[in-house]
Structures are given as C-alpha cells and as structure tokens.
C-alpha cells in the first residue's frame, strides 16, 4: 500500500473552479474531502505531494426545487442520514443506506462525492443513486453531467479526467400521481463492515399493478456497482408474483461477476445477490402499492 509520505502543500480552494485550477497546475495533487478512503486505503500507485481539500469550496448542501433534489459533493454521509428531506423521500432509501454506512465516526467525515469518486464496488450510496436515476455534475475545463449508470468505466475508475471534480448529485423528483416504491438492503459480516452484497430497487406500477418502470442495482458483485438491466426488462409489463420475481432473478449470474475476498466467496456472493435482488423487487413492488 502506498501512502502520502512527503506532503508539500495543502490547499483550501474557495470554489470548484479554484479546485480544478489547482489540480491542473499541480500535477502531483489529489482531491481530499473526508479523507476516509484516500488516507486509509492508500494511493493505489499514484504519487501525491499536494492535497486540494474541497470541504470549504461551498459544496455542502441538500436542497430541493420543483424538479430535483440537489446534493453538494462534500455533504457528509451523516448529513444525508439526518436530512429531514430524505426521511420522507423515496421510502427513505438514501437515509437508510447512509445509516448502514459503517460507524458514526466515518459517517461524520465521509462525503457523498468522495464515495462516488473512490469508485469502490462496495459503495452503499451508488446503488441507491442508480435506483433514483441520479445525475452527477462534474466541474473541469467545462461543466459536464453524467447519468450515474455509466459513470463507472472499470475497476475503481470513473469517466472523470484527473483534474475534474464532482460538484453535485442531482436526483429527479418522481412525477406526481405515479406509484413508485423503493427498497435498499445491505448484507455485511457485521453491522460495522462494508458490504458483502448491497443493492437498491425502484418499481413503478400502473393502476392495475403492471410494472411500468424498474431499476435494480447491486454492489460488491462486480468491479463497479451495476444495474441489472436484464432483470429490469423481465419485470416490465407484468403484475408481479413471488414466482415471476424468482424466475426473473434465477439467471442473475449473467449480470454479475463476483470475486472471492476476505469477506466472502464468489459463490456466496452469487447466492446472496439472487436472494437480495428478489427481496428488493418484492419490497419495492409492495411499497408502490402492488399486491403479491
Ligand atoms: C473503516 C472504514 C469503513 C468504511 N465503510 C464504508 C461503508 O460501510 N460503506 C461505503 O460505501 N464506504 C465505506 N468506506 C469507504 C469510504 O469511507 C467512503 O468511500 C467515503 O464516502 C469516501 O468519502 P471521503 O469524503 O472520505 O473521500 P476521500 O477519502 O477524501 O476521497 C476518496 C477518493 O475520492 C476522490 N474524491 C473525493 N471527493 C471528490 C469529488 N468531489 N470529486 C471527485 N473525486 C473526489 C479523492 O481524490 C479520492 O481519490 C469505509 C472506509 C473506512 C476507512
């Protein structure tokens, strides 16, 4: 593991453009937010002499307008957990996922932008943001936005250039009079551990109970958090029963690529993924108002 051994400069940019300028002018610079990943898990082969701390760059907020909820990148996991807005939004899945995020000490420091920027497959936040169809706003030479599905391109890599930073996460508000249910689940060795498997779902139904829209995302079962598109498509147009859900999840092995590590074997992850996927779909369907 490689750590910062020779820290030369520590910057506190006043805004995102200032942070990007520093990252472009200092090639051996890295962004730091909560530091819970960067300082603990090391630098993964990069040489870093300068840190650009973005926690004073005006990116800590949760706000809502007519169409979106907007979360600033340096909003902490504790702030997500405790924001009144998320207690009532989308069956509280963001608040619930934040509450399952290891310990209060880590939650108080770790940020949503750092969680997405670290691109860990075990992120507890990414599956929820996929179920919510979130977009990620990025500042670099120009401002860009990416759907979260497609933000990760390979193991611990995102679509961002090294000098770009996540500024905001934007969650669309569901249309009125639409019946949508949501669910989140995390399985770990203990309550204070990262996930063996986690996941989230959102299911929208019409008045007859037919599925009109489905999102199912899983973490820790591939090199990045994934959407299970085949399962989602299988659900469309159907009134769900336990049998239909079980059959849709039967071939989940086609969607995932789990690995063995100290926490679990690939085989165990595959089995848990199938069980969790079915539970998430059932819970989201029932919360949307569907009858099983
Ligand atoms: C003991 C322990 C337990 C943990 N448990 C969990 C858990 O249960 N669930 C979970 O999901 N994670 C967990 N983590 C991982 C980690 O805490 C999270 O990924 C956290 O959200 C990282 O946020 P941070 O602000 O601390 O990021 P930092 O450590 O500051 O940064 C992480 C990476 O992201 C980059 N980065 C930071 N902010 C941005 C930004 N705005 N734009 C672009 N890149 C950025 C940094 O350059 C760095 O490469 C755990 C970590 C530890 C040490």
- Note the pLDDT of residue 41: 79
3-state secondary structure at position 290: coil
**For the domain 62-172, what is the CATH code?**
3.30.465.10
- Note the pLDDT of residue 90: 96
Q: How many whole angstroms from 176 Cα to the centroid of ligand 1?
A: 34
Contact 101, 114 (CB under 8 A): no
- Note the pLDDT of residue 4: 79
Q: How many whole angstroms from 78 Cα to the centroid of ligand 1?
A: 13
In DSSP notation, 178-209 reads -EEEEEEEEE-SSTTS--SEEEEEEEEE-TTS
Average pLDDT over all residues of the chain:
95
Helices 242-250 and 266-287 pack at an angle, to 10 degrees, of 150
Has residue 42 got a pLDDT over 80? no
Q: What share of the chain is helix, strand, coil (3-state, %, to 5)?
A: 35, 25, 40
Mean pLDDT, residues 178-203: 96
Confirm or reject: Cβ of 152 under 6 Å from ligand 1: no
Please, which residues have CB within 8 angstroms of residue 261's CB and are 6 or more apart in sequence?
none
The full length of the chain comes to 292
Has residue 45 got a pLDDT over 80? no
Closest CA to 107 of 85, 133, 130, 83: 83
**For the domain 180-287, what is the CATH code?**
3.30.390.50
39: confidence class by pLDDT, cuts 50, 70, 90: confident
Q: Whose CA is nearest to atom 3 of ligand 1?
A: 102
**What pTM does this model have?**
0.96
Contact 66, 24 (CB under 8 A): no
Fold held by 9-56 = 3.30.43
Mean pLDDT, residues 39-46: 76
Has residue 208 got a pLDDT over 90? yes
Q: Provide the residue ranges of all domains of the chain, joining segments of one domain with +.
A: 9-56, 62-172, 180-287
114: confidence class by pLDDT, cuts 50, 70, 90: very high
What phi and psi values does residue 128 have, to the nearest 5 degrees? Answer: -65, -45
- Note the pLDDT of residue 1: 63
């Amino acid at each position: 593991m490689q750590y910062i051994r020779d820290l030369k400069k520590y910057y506190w940019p006043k805004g995102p453009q200032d942070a990007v300028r520093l990252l472009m002018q200092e090639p051996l610079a890295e962004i730091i937010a909560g530091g819970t990943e960067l300082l603990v898990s090391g630098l993964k082969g990069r040489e870093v002499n300068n840190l650009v701390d973005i926690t004073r760059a005006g990116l800590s907020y949760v706000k809502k307008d007519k169409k979106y909820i907007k979360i600033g990148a340096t909003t902490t996991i504790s702030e997500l957990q405790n924001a009144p807005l998320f207690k009532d939004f989308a069956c509280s899945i963001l608040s619930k996922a934040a509450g399952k995020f290891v310990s209060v000490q880590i939650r108080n420091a770790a940020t949503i932008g750092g969680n997405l920027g670290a691109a860990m497959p075990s992120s507890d936040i990414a599956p929820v943001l996929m179920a919510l169809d979130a977009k990620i706003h990025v500042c670099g030479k120009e401002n860009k936005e990416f759907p979260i599905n497609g933000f990760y391109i390979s193991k611990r890599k995102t679509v961002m250039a090294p000098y770009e930073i996540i500024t905001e996460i934007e969650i669309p508000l569901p249309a009125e009079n639409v019946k949508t249910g949501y669910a989140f689940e995390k399985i770990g060795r203990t309550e204070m551990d990262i996930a063996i498997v986690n996941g989230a779902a959102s299911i929208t139904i019409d008045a007859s109970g037919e599925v009109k829209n489905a999102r199912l995302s899983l973490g820790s079962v591939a090199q990045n958090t994934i959407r299970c598109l085949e399962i989602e498509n299988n659900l469309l147009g159907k009134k769900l029963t336990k049998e239909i859900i079980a059959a849709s999840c039967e071939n989940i092995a086609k969607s995932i690529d789990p690995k063995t590590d100290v926490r679990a074997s690939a085989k165990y992850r595959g089995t848990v993924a199938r069980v969790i996927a079915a539970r998430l779909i059932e819970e989201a369907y029932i919360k949307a108002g569907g009858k099983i």
